[in-house]
Amino acid sequence: MDASGLDTAISSLEKVISGLEESSGRLEVCLIFWSVLVAIGVAIEIIEVLAQHVGEHKAWRRATIRSPERPRGWMLVLKLCPVVFVTVGITGELFNNVQSMSINMKLRGKNTMLVGLIHRKASNAEEAAATAHKEAALTEQSLAPRRLSRKQQLDSGSRLRRFSRQLASQSYIVADAEGQAFAWDINEALRYARWDVFDPAGILMMAKSGQRSGRRSVIRTGVLVESTGDDHSRAACDAFIAELRNLGFDANRPPTPLDPNEGHRLVIHVESRPVGPQGEAKIALARSHN
């Protein structure tokens, strides 16, 4: 049941409970009436007993025997009234109690249902909040900049040290602060690996003039690593790409190697940030899908 359905069910139950509570209140008023009726009957009975006692005491004091008087109708009514009042009152109380028990049972059942729906609504709200929190976390991870922690720099440098003195240069796109910071993190890792690296250099990408609009250029993302064709540079390139991928970053090598005349070296291009999680967030997402 969705949130609107739960709200409708809760509202309907609250109306039913309110009606049952009103009925219970009316029964309480009726119970007072029946109790008063019983009390009146008992009071009349007490008065009648006292009056009879007084009459008998007067007759005893006269010490004479008198013929019985003619029965009076109103005395019969007076004697029957307390019996009728008590009987009707007790019957009314019994009926009232039966009705009250029925209403109370219905109230308990409806209240149990209402509590269950409220708990369900609260549970749905908690699930919605958890989902929203998870989506917010995924959004934050999808926008988080690529960075290498100090520990990652040291660990990567240690693993790449077998290619020490490897010549490498780096570049990033001018005005891309995220790519520039990531390029410097990579630079620190390669220095720990004792590679012969140049400081990252900014490259300005400009559109070709004199070209009509309509053709969309491909936007390169991730880290693009080029190497010359010698075995040492190619092995260093593969190891460096594997290191970045193991850390959760997109990294690739173009199919065509660099010009051999450029010497034995690597050229590392830090391109725009890819869409989606990177780094540890990407690794965690991959593990959750396995």
First and final C-alpha spacing in the chain: 31
Q: What is the mean pLDDT of the chain?
A: 82
Task: Based on the fold, state whether residues 23 and 131 are members of the same structural domain.
Answer: yes
How many whole angstroms separate alpha carbon 234 and alpha carbon 54? 130
Q: Are residues 180 and 107 in the same domain?
A: no
Secondary structure, 3-state, 88-116: HHHHHHHHHHHHHHHHHHHHHHHHHHHHH
Q: Which pTM value belongs to this model?
A: 0.57
Confidence label for 61 from pLDDT (cuts 50, 70 and 90): confident
What integer pLDDT is reported at residue 141 of this predicted model? 73
User: Is the pLDDT assigned to residue 199 strictly greater than 90?
Assistant: yes
Considering Cα of 154, then 155, then 161, then 163, what sign does the dihedral take?
negative
- Give pLDDT tens digits for 135-160: 777 777 778 899 999 999 999 999 99
Whether residues 114 and 161 share a domain: the answer is no
Give the end of a domain, one of 126, 143, 160: 143
* Cβ pair 10, 65 in contact under 8 A: no
Q: What's the total number of domains in the chain?
A: 2
Q: What is the CATH number of the domain that holds 176?
A: 3.30.70.2390
Last residue of a domain, one of 90, 109, 143: 143
